[in-house]
Chain A
């Protein structure tokens, strides 16, 4: 499927696709994740992300403490008390591809972040100015700055593969069927079926994680203990940070008015007083 733009950062022109595009979606069924990290490797191999020679041991089975500019797909391991018994959760973490992407809203660089009509949110590094507003804007703490290139990187949902009709690399590598890929509708159906199965097996709180605070995501989870997303490393009620909403919402209008006022004042001032001349300083 061709990638058609839906939204572009710091740009007022909404680009509209000429046809209806199905939204794509990753399904992460945490109940059958065995933390094998095949998805981590596939992500690195496909995206050719440079490998640091040595990372120190993290104090758990987790590859590194957090996502990195060159590590976009991380399984988080947690030892937790779950529903009265001990559990060791493993949940893949990556860009969620929000329907309302905080990163895109926060980004001041035209065209550095785009959202496609299929739901993928992609970073276009050549337009990135490295300001990291997207980092502030992301409710999932995903984007990471490369200290070398001073650009920000994250999971692309393998937009290149998806555009060619393939599933993302992580999905292809997953051995247990924990990761699946399809349209959002299909994945929601599968997720609902799985939640019903889990409930029948005694996981009374099993639920789908598709947070409404960002109008839903294009990576959704099945959580056996859906009432405790934090135990899987996921925020409870993510939404675009208020500072970004304020700045890009009401404040933007206020800012525009102030800006316009400023220009108008400057113009009136020019008309009335003419250009400003620098006074020559006395040479010493």
Chain B
């Protein structure tokens, strides 16, 4: 979230799209209700199904799963063509006025620089025009045809209400109903927020959907403002923490990059990852990359990391390709992996294409699963249809403590890092993850000490400073993540600001010379000399906007609203004085922790987006794989060809797989669009092991529209089979009025919905929805397309 849960109460318009907050975030949803009740806010819900959020919304519109980007494109076009954007905001705070290089173009679904052989882009034309010093050329009036705003207008003028209707299946009238409400927030006295979740993420063009939403919010001047923002609703209690700490293969903690094979030494690596300032005055905070990285290496390898050995840069793996987990399971299926340690994930249930997951696991020699339940993955060898005698994988199930049986922190969607305390001891022999991991690590290290192995240094030199090495206290780990001074830290006058051995209080103190250690720079400040800031429970609310600066601690720097400089005009006055996130009082910024230098006057030109080298919010972004502007592509399995450019129907960079198990269906055989989701009664694949949750939604079911049921002669509660080209599931039909037929480009299209949760493990059993889902990935983040794939439905 750029903003936070409580801040939603400050919104005038809430767009819930690509997420179903009432269903999946019922507690956070209280702030939506608060805004509705106390501000008269309008809640708009756009979703393939009339869901729980829709039930309490002011405006609901149904769209086809997988067509969100076209809908957002329509909103962008509506905003631009009707002049509803916040002109001054766009000029001051976005790259709208920046000029783009001459060669940049877009034609027939492809941007300039596409290589038809490798299916990649040469991004050299997706760049800003630069002057001789390398700074960006701008057209401050935003009229230059090469400026970002004009290019954006041109790109999205195709997304007319009629086109949106043809692609999404929503009527023109319905689209305009949404557009009128959502695009009304482009004025300083209004603020609108967007709440999204996996409904946007589970596509082969997922990151581009988020980009479209970000562009819309930048145009409307909603980023950085209380009541505004682009707010991702995270689906697990600590998935934000996991993301922050580098669980994803391509990231190190704090969104630092895993080195690639091109960068064999520290100098090359830092050069490639440290952005060069593009505006003379911009703060370009990511320019401090070397400080973040070196401090991280000091945390990892302690005294072994020094300037002479590139701070042990050689110890880090260098990657040459995508090692995300779906790829990893493809490798496994091809027999390239010997064993796997599986913590906190249930890949068989998670899918995609659970049958492939099962087949992949059966090629392993050994599998270790640490879990508090015997999950599908732990008992994959007795999955339905598998003969256990044919499986040679040795499976170890280690009983692990659950979240309530250990302390530690949860980072919520709002970036609040909240400390929690152990409520009870783990049962029986169950151990907390850190104890299991530490025990395995120490055993491996001992083996390396006894028997010489290949490249033992990363293991032998790992910094392991815990009082009880086999069971590190999570408080110790938290302190390590925060970081400490390894020397006395001095200011420019030579005055000591922090003693050696003391906890750092802010990432401003990090150094690239090895004098600081920090496990995750964005968490620097969470555990200072004052103590565990995450354990705070202060209820002061000085701004009256629900920021609660003394309630726990939020990254970065305890800032509650990111990019909050953009909540003020050029002079530092809040756009809306009734919702002042921060403001300039003549000497310093007051209110929330400013996303700006705290004593630097507003006209200093550091940029409202101080993290970026251009200091401006990116309407045009060359960072993405498949284009600097979002474009509508169809899902890998779609009932229709892309109307905009049938020749490039799907994302040209989307990743699909080639093994004998990876198949992709076509609409002639599989005509129905299918989407998957969770139910409020459940938590992921867990709660089928728990009695009360099992009782609340006891049986697997498939939501099918009334009209489709009539066509197929299916009655409510009748047993049906849903099949994709990869697998099938069988269960009760839930015939509902909440999904209507759609007309997509003149063709009648049905869609159905399948809740995830059930499986062959647990107290209540049922089919895994992911037997159906395709192995197709987004090129930027490798997320699978769990939503908007093709199936057929039959009566059993």
The answer to whether A79 and B36 have CB atoms under 8 Å apart is: no
Q: Kindly state whether residue A149 has any CB partner on chain B within 8 Å.
A: no
Residues of B with C-beta under 8 A to A60? 734
A-B contact pairs, 18 of them (CB 8 A): A36-B22, A36-B680, A37-B681, A51-B695, A54-B698, A56-B699, A57-B698, A57-B699, A59-B734, A79-B738, A86-B738, A88-B50, A88-B52, A88-B738, A175-B30, A176-B30, A176-B33, A194-B37
Chain A residues whose CB sits within 8 angstroms of the CB of B698 once the complex forms: 54-57
Binary contact readout B686-699 vs A (1 if CB under 8 angstroms, 0 otherwise): 00000110111111
* Interface size bracket, A side: 35 or more
Q: Which residues of A contact B50 (CB under 8 A)?
A: 86, 88
Which residues 58-83 of A sit at the B interface, judged by CB distance below 8 A?
59-61, 63, 79
Assess whether A238 is interfacial by the CB under 8 Å rule: no
Is the CB–CB distance between A38 and B26 below 8 Å?
Answer: yes
**A41, A59, A88: the one within 8 Å of B55 (CB):** A88
Instruction: Give a binary string over A20-38; 1 marks a CB under 8 Å from any B CB, 0 the rest.
Output: 0000000000011111111
Tell me, rounded to whole Å, the shortest Cβ–Cβ distance linking B430 to chain A.
Answer: 23
Which of B30, B694, B697, B716 interacts with A59 by CB under 8 Å? Answer: B716
Instruction: Looking at the assembled complex, report how far the CB atom of B142 sits from the nearest CB atom of chain A, in whole angstroms.
Output: 38
A55, closest chain B residue (CB): B698
Collect the chain A residues with CB atoms within 8 Å of residue B695's CB: 51-52, 55, 63
The reply to whether A79 and B737 contact each other, CB–CB distance below 8 Å, is yes
Q: Is the CB of B680 within 8 A of A37?
A: yes
Q: Which of B727-751 contact A (CB under 8 A)?
A: 732, 734-738
- Distance of B51 from chain A, by nearest CB (Å): 8
Shortest CB–CB separation between residue A174 and chain B, in angstroms? 9
Q: Sort chain B's interface into a size bin.
A: 35 or more
Q: Which of A51, A59, A79 counts the most chain B CB atoms within 10 A?
A: A59
Query: What distance in Å separates the Cβ of B739 from its nearest Cβ neighbour in chain A?
Result: 11
A63 to chain B: which residues have CB within 8 Å?
695-697
B701–A34 touching, CB < 8 Å: no
Q: How many cross-chain pairs have Cβ atoms below 8 Å apart between A and B?
A: 93
- Nearest B-chain residue to A194, judged by Cβ: B37
Does B56 touch A at the CB level, under 8 Å?
yes
User: Apart from A38-B26, A57-B734, what 16 extra A-B contacts exist at CB < 8 Å?
Assistant: A31-B56, A32-B36, A32-B56, A34-B22, A34-B26, A34-B52, A44-B692, A55-B695, A59-B717, A61-B697, A79-B736, A79-B737, A88-B55, A176-B33, A177-B30, A201-B40
Tell whether, in the assembled complex, residue A86 and residue B717 are in contact, meaning their CB atoms are under 8 Å apart. no
A45 and B30 contact, CB distance less than 8 A: no
Residues of the B chain whose Cβ atoms lie less than 8 Å from the Cβ of A53:
691, 763
The distance in angstroms between the C-alpha atoms of A176 and B26, with both chains bound, is 7
Cα A57 to Cα B679 with chains together (Å): 14
Please, how many angstroms separate the alpha-carbon atoms of A212 and B33 in the complex? 30
The reply to whether the CB of B305 lies closer than 8 angstroms to some CB of chain A is: no
The distance in angstroms between the C-alpha atoms of A247 and B22, with both chains bound, is: 47
Least CB distance, B484 to chain A, in whole angstroms = 39
Cβ distance A38 to chain B, nearest Cβ, rounded Å: 7
Q: B697 to nearest A CB, angstroms?
A: 8
Chain A's nearest CB lies how many Å from the CB of B11? 16
Check A120 for interface membership: any CB of B closer than 8 A: no
Q: Which residue of A lies closest to B38 (CB)?
A: A197
For A52, what are the chain B residues with a Cβ–Cβ distance below 8 Å? 695
A200 to chain B, nearest CB (A): 8
Cross-chain contact A57 with B30 (CB below 8 angstroms): no
Q: Quick one: which of B34, B55, B738 contacts A90, CB cutoff 8 A? A: B55
Residues of A within 8 Å of B29, CB to CB, are 34, 175-176
B593 interface contact, C-beta 8 A: no
Give CA–CA (A61, B20) in the complex, Å.
Answer: 15
Q: Closest residue to B24 on the A side, CB-wise?
A: A36
Q: Give every chain A residue within 8 A of B52 (Cβ-Cβ).
A: 34-36, 88, 90
A131 to B495, CA, bound (A): 87
Interface centre among B698, B717, B736 (most CB of A within 10 A): B698
Q: Once bound together, how far apart are the Cα atoms of A93 and B36, in whole Å?
A: 24
Residues of A within 8 A of B717 (CB): 57, 59
Q: Which residue of B lies closest to A71 (CB)?
A: B695
A41–B695 Cα gap in the complex (Å)? 10
A89 at the A/B interface (Cβ < 8 Å)?
A: yes
Check: A210 CB closer than 8 A to any chain B CB: no
> Closest 10 CB pairs between A and B?
A57-B699, A34-B22, A36-B26, A88-B55, A59-B717, A175-B27, A79-B737, A59-B716, A176-B33, A175-B26
Instruction: Say if the beta carbon of B54 comes within 8 Å of chain A.
Output: yes
Chain B residues near A (Cβ < 8 Å)? 22-23, 26-27, 29-30, 33-34, 36-37, 40, 50, 52-56, 58, 679-681, 691-692, 694-699, 701, 716-717, 732, 734-738, 763-764
A15 CB to nearest chain B CB (Å): 38
Q: Does A87 contact B (CB under 8 A)?
A: yes
Residue positions of A touching B, CB distance < 8 A: 31-38, 40-41, 44-45, 51-57, 59-61, 63, 79, 86-90, 175-178, 194, 197, 201
Closest approach, in angstroms, between the C-beta of B154 and any C-beta of chain A? 38
Q: Which residues of B contact A55 (CB under 8 A)?
A: 695, 698
CB–CB B680/A89 < 8 A: no
The one of A40, A57, A88 in contact with B732, judged by C-beta atoms closer than 8 angstroms, is: A57
- How far apart sit A40 and B27, CA to CA, in the bound complex (Å)? 15
Nearest CB in chain B: distance from A148 CB, A: 18
CA distance A170 to B113 in the complex (A): 60
* A51 surroundings in chain B (CB, below 8 A): 691-692, 695
Return chain B residues, CB-CB under 8 Å to A177: 30, 33-34, 37
Tell me, rounded to whole Å, the shortest Cβ–Cβ distance linking B212 to chain A. Answer: 27
The docked-state distance in angstroms from the alpha carbon of A41 to that of B190 is 39
- B23: chain A residues at CB < 8 Å are 34
A37 to B681 CA separation, bound complex (whole angstroms): 7
Residue numbers in A under 8 Å from B58 (CB-CB): 201
- Cα-based distance from A177 to B58 in the complex (angstroms): 18
Check if B701 sits within 8 Å of A57, measured CB to CB: yes
Looking at the assembled complex, report how far the CB atom of A87 sits from the nearest CB atom of chain B, in whole angstroms. 7
Residues of A within 8 A of B735 (CB): 59
In this complex, what residue of B is CB-closest to A224? B56
Q: What's the Cα separation between A60 and B695 when bound, in Å?
A: 14
Q: From B733, which residue of chain A is reached at the shortest CB distance?
A: A59
Decide if A41 touches B696 in the complex (CB within 8 Å): yes
CB distance from A212 to the nearest CB of B (A): 28
Q: Do A45 and B26 touch (CB < 8 A)?
A: no
Q: Which residues of B contact A56 (CB under 8 A)?
A: 698-699
Complex alpha-carbon distance, A44 and B694, angstroms: 13
Closest-by-CB residue of A relative to B27 is: A175
Residue in chain B with minimal CB distance to A198: B37
* A197 partner residues in chain B, CB cutoff 8 A: 37
Q: Give the docked Cα–Cα distance between A40 and B54 (Å).
A: 22
Contact A34 B56 (CB under 8 A): yes
| Bound CA–CA A209/B521 (angstroms) | 56
Asked if B37 and A45 sit within 8 Å, CB to CB, the answer is no
- A87 B699 Cβ-Cβ under 8 A: no
User: What are the residues of chain B within 8 A of A33 when measuring CB–CB?
Assistant: 56
Which residue from chain B places its CB closest to the CB of A33 in the assembled complex?
B56
- B692 touching A41, Cβ below 8 Å: yes
Residue of A nearest to B717 (CB): A59
Q: Provided the pairs A55-B695, A55-B698, A176-B29 are in contact, do residues A35 and B680 lie with their beta carbons within 8 angstroms?
A: yes
Chain B residues whose C-beta falls within 8 Å of the C-beta of A194 in the assembled complex: 37
Q: CA A177 – CA B26 in complex, angstroms?
A: 11
Q: B residues within 8 A CB of A36?
A: 22, 26, 52, 680
Distance A201 CA – B30 CA, assembled complex (angstroms) = 19
The answer for the CA separation of A178 and B26 in the assembled complex, in Å, is: 12
Question: Chain A contacts of B53 at CB under 8 A?
Answer: 34
CA A52 to CA B699, docked complex, whole Å: 14
Q: Which residues of B contact A178 (CB under 8 A)?
A: 33
A60 to B764, CA, bound (A): 18
Give CA–CA (A27, B681) in the complex, Å: 23
Give the docked Cα–Cα distance between A89 and B34 (Å).
20
Shortest Cβ gap from A50 to chain B (Å): 10
With both beta carbons as reference points, the residue of chain B lying nearest to A178 in the complex is identified as B33
